[in-house]
Amino acid sequence: MVMNKTLLEVRGLMVGFPTPDGLVRASDTVDLEIYSRETLGLIGETGSGKTVLGMAILRLLQPNTIIKGEIRYRGRDLLSLPEDEMRKIRGREIGVVLQNSGTSLNPVYTVGDQIAEAVTLHQGLKGTEAWHRAVELLDAVRIADPARMAGEYPHQFSGGMRERALIAMALACNPSFLIADEPTKGLDAVTKREVIDLFGEVNRDRSVLFITHDIEAARNLATRVAVMYAGEIVELGGTGEVLSDPAHPYTQGLLASLPERGMRPIPGSAPSLITPPPGCRFSPRCGCAGEGCRTEHPGLVEVRPGHYARCMLYDRG
Amino acid sequence: MSRKTVLAASLGIVLAYCVVALLAPVIAPYDPHAITGAPLSPPDREHPLGTNDLAQDIFSRLIWGTRATLLLGFLGATIAVVLGTAVGIISGYYGGTVDEAVMRVIDVAMTIPIFPLLLILTMFFRPGIYVTAVLMGLLGSFQGVRVIRSQVLSLAVADFVTGTRALGARDGYIMGRHILPNILPLAGVKFVFSAQHFMLIGIGLGFLGIGDPSVVDWGQMINRASQNGAIILGLWWWLIPPGLAVTLISLALAWLGYACEDEINPRLRLLRV
C-alpha cells in the first residue's frame, strides 16, 4: 500500500492514573503514527491500555489523569490545545465510537434526537434539517426504515442497531479520523460480520483506529496492526505480516490462543501496571525468556522493513 | 390500596387545595378580617364553622389560610429544589476541588437545625410570608444538593455523557441537556417532600407567633384559638378545622411523595409493605 502523509502522531505517550497504591501506568511511552486513510488495528488483551490510548487522543479521560508526551494531529499538539479548540476537534475532526453501545446513548432521548444533536453541535443545522440529516445517517449505516427508527428510544434498538446508531453519530460531521473502541464487542457472529462490513465502507475515505481484541476483525479491516501489552506497543507492522508471521512471542501466543489455532492460552496473567516487571514486561509469561529478558527492557526495533517488535530476540544493543 | 389509587387520590387532594387557594375570594362567604356577627358563635347557616373571638368567620379564614400554607410550601420547595439541583449538578459533574468545597460547606450547614435558625432569621428580618419562603428555600436546599449530587456523580461518568463530550459538546450543554433530564424524577420527589416539610414549618412559625401578621394562616388561627382557651371552653369549631386542614394536606403530600418515589424506583415497592 502507498504510505501517504501522517495524520496523527503519538510520541512518548504516558497515561497514568493516580491511585492510593501508586501510579497505574495504563499507557507507557507509546509511539505511533496513523497515516491518512489507513486503518490501524490496535489489539491486545483487556487492560493492556488500548481504550486509554484512544481516549487520551481526544482528552476524554478523567481530569486527575496524568498525561505526558505528545499527540500531534495534522501538526497540532492536542495535549497542549486549549479546551475550546479541543472541542472543535472532537466530533468534527475526530469521531469516536465508544465501547459499550448499550449505555452510550442517553435513555431519555430518541436515537434520532441524539444523532441530530451531533449534527447540530458542529454544523449549525437545526430542527427538521438536523432530523433529516439524522435519518440520512441512519440510512447510511443501513438501518431499515430509518425514518421510523429515528423516532424510537435506545432501549427499543437491538445491540447491533445501537452499534450502528453510534457509528452514525460518530460519522455525523464526516470526521477525517475515527476511533472505534471494540465496536464488535458483545455482538453475535452475523451482526459482527455486518458491523465489520460497515467499517469496510467507513474506512475508505478516512483514517480509523480500530481498537479490538477480535483478531479476525483486525485481519479483515486493518492495513497495519499494533499489538499492545501492559501499556506498551510490543509489535507493529503490516496486518498480513504481523498476523501470519508474528515476530513477538506475545503476538505468537495471542494467535495460538485463537480457537482455530488450537486454543492454547498464554500461561499466567498480565502484570501489575503500578510496578511492571523490570525487564521485558512479557518475560514472566514468555516461553523463550532468557536471563537478559528479566533485567533489560527491550526497545521497539525494526525486524523487517516497516515491521517492529519489542523483544530481546531482536534488540541486540 | 393500589399504588395508582394512592397516587390519584393524593394528587386529587393536593389539586383541590390548589383550586381552593386560587378561588379563595369566590368560595369564602366573608372577608376573613371582617366582623361578621356575634363572637364565638357555634356553626350555623350563616357561619358554617362558626366565628372566633373577634367575630370573624372561621370558614372564610380557613379558605384564605390555604393560600398562605400553599404559597410557603410550594415557593419554598421551588427555591430549595432549583438551588439544590443546580448546585448538586455542578458539584457532581465537575467533581474535584469544586465538589470538595461544596460538600464541606454543606456538611457544616447541615449540622445547623433549620427550625431554630429560621425562628431567629424571621425575627431578624421582618416576618413576612415571602421572606419566610425564601429563607426556608435557602436553608432547605442543602439536603437536596447531597441527594442530587450523589446521583450526578454516577451520571457524570456515564458512557452517554462521555459520548456527548466526544461529539464536542460544552459542559453547560451536557449538564442541561443530558444530566438534568435524568435527575428530574428525583428532583420532583424532592419537591413534593420539601413542600410538605415547609408547609408544616410554616404552620409552626405561625403557631409560635412569628407568621406574617398581614396574612391569614392556619398556624396563627390555631395559636389564637389555643391561647384563648378554645379547648377549655369546648369551642371545637375554632381549633379543629385548621388542624384538620393541615393534617390532610400534609398526609396527601406524603402519600404523593411516596407514590412518586415508588414510580421512579420500583425496588422500593418490595421494601415498603
**What is the DSSP secondary-structure string of A262-291?**
T--PPSS-PPPSSS--SS-TTGGG-TT--H
* CA gap A273, B166 in Å, rounded: 27
Inter-chain residue contact A117 with B167, CB threshold 8 Å: yes
- Let me know if residue A315 belongs to a domain: no
C-beta separation of A161 from A192 below 8 A: no
Q: Per residue in A247-291, pLDDT tens? A: 999 999 999 998 888 888 898 888 999 999 989 999 999 988 888
- Let me know if residue A172 belongs to a domain: yes
What's the pLDDT at B114?
86
Q: How many residues does chain A have?
A: 317
Inter-chain residue contact A64 with B165, CB threshold 8 Å: no
Inter-chain residue contact A60 with B162, CB threshold 8 Å: yes
- β-partners of residue A27 are A15
* ipTM given for this complex: 0.89
What's the pLDDT at A213?
87
- Let me know if residue A215 belongs to a domain: yes
In the three-class reduction of DSSP (H, G, I as helix; E, B as strand; rest coil), residue B146 is classed as helix
What's the pLDDT at B268?
67
Inter-chain residue contact A118 with B166, CB threshold 8 Å: no
- Let me know if residue A1 belongs to a domain: no
Three cell numbers, residue A194: 455486518
Query: pLDDT in tens for each of the 273 residues of chain B?
Result: 677 899 999 999 999 999 999 999 999 999 999 988 888 888 988 899 989 988 899 999 999 999 999 999 999 999 999 999 999 999 999 998 999 999 999 999 989 888 888 888 888 887 789 999 999 999 999 999 999 999 999 999 999 999 999 999 999 999 999 999 999 999 999 999 999 999 999 999 999 988 888 889 999 999 999 998 888 888 999 999 999 999 999 999 999 999 998 888 767 666 654
- Let me know if residue A140 belongs to a domain: no
What's the pLDDT at B82?
97
Report the run of H or E that residue B51 belongs to, with start and end: none
Measured between beta carbons, which residues in chain A are less than 8 angstroms from residue B164? 106, 117
CB burial of residue B16 (10 Å; 0-12, 13-18, 19+)? middle
* CA gap B56, B31 in Å, rounded: 8
C-beta separation of A300 from A310 below 8 A: yes
What's the pLDDT at A3?
52
Residues 6+ apart with CB under 8 A from B177: A117
Does B266 lie at the interface with A, CB-CB under 8 angstroms? no
What's the pLDDT at B2?
78
Segments of chain A scoring below 70 in pLDDT: 1-4, 317
Domain boundaries, chain B: 3-33+49-271
C-beta separation of A70 from A16 below 8 A: no
CA-derived radius of gyration, chain B: 22
Residue type, B266: P
Inter-chain residue contact B163 with A108, CB threshold 8 Å: no
What's the pLDDT at A315?
80
Residue of B nearest to A116 (CA): B167
Residue A212's domain comprises: 6-105+157-310
**Which of A90, A109, A166 shows the shortest C-beta gap to B168?**
A90
How many domains in chain A?
1
Inter-chain residue contact A87 with B181, CB threshold 8 Å: no
* CA gap B11, B255 in Å, rounded: 9
- Let me know if residue A122 belongs to a domain: no
- Let me know if residue A28 belongs to a domain: yes
For residue B146, the distance in angstroms to the closest alpha carbon of chain A comes to 22
Measured between beta carbons, which residues in chain B are less than 8 angstroms from residue A87? 168-170
Taking the CA atoms of residue A141, residue A143, residue A147 and residue A151 in that order, the dihedral angle to the nearest 10 degrees is -100
Inter-chain residue contact B167 with A172, CB threshold 8 Å: yes
Q: What is the largest CA-CA distance in chain B?
A: 75
Phi and psi for A231 in degrees, rounded to 5?
90, -5
Residue of B nearest to A109 (CA): B178
What is the 3 state secondary structure string of B214-260? CCCCHHHHHHHHHHCCCCCCCCHHHHHHHHHHHHHHHHHHHHHHHHH
pTM (predicted TM-score)? 0.86
Does A104 lie at the interface with B, CB-CB under 8 angstroms? yes
Does B172 lie at the interface with A, CB-CB under 8 angstroms? no
- Let me know if residue A317 belongs to a domain: no
C-beta separation of B169 from B114 below 8 A: no
CATH number of the domain that residue A235 is part of: 3.40.50.300
Which CATH architecture describes the domain B3-33+49-271?
Answer: Orthogonal Bundle (1.10)
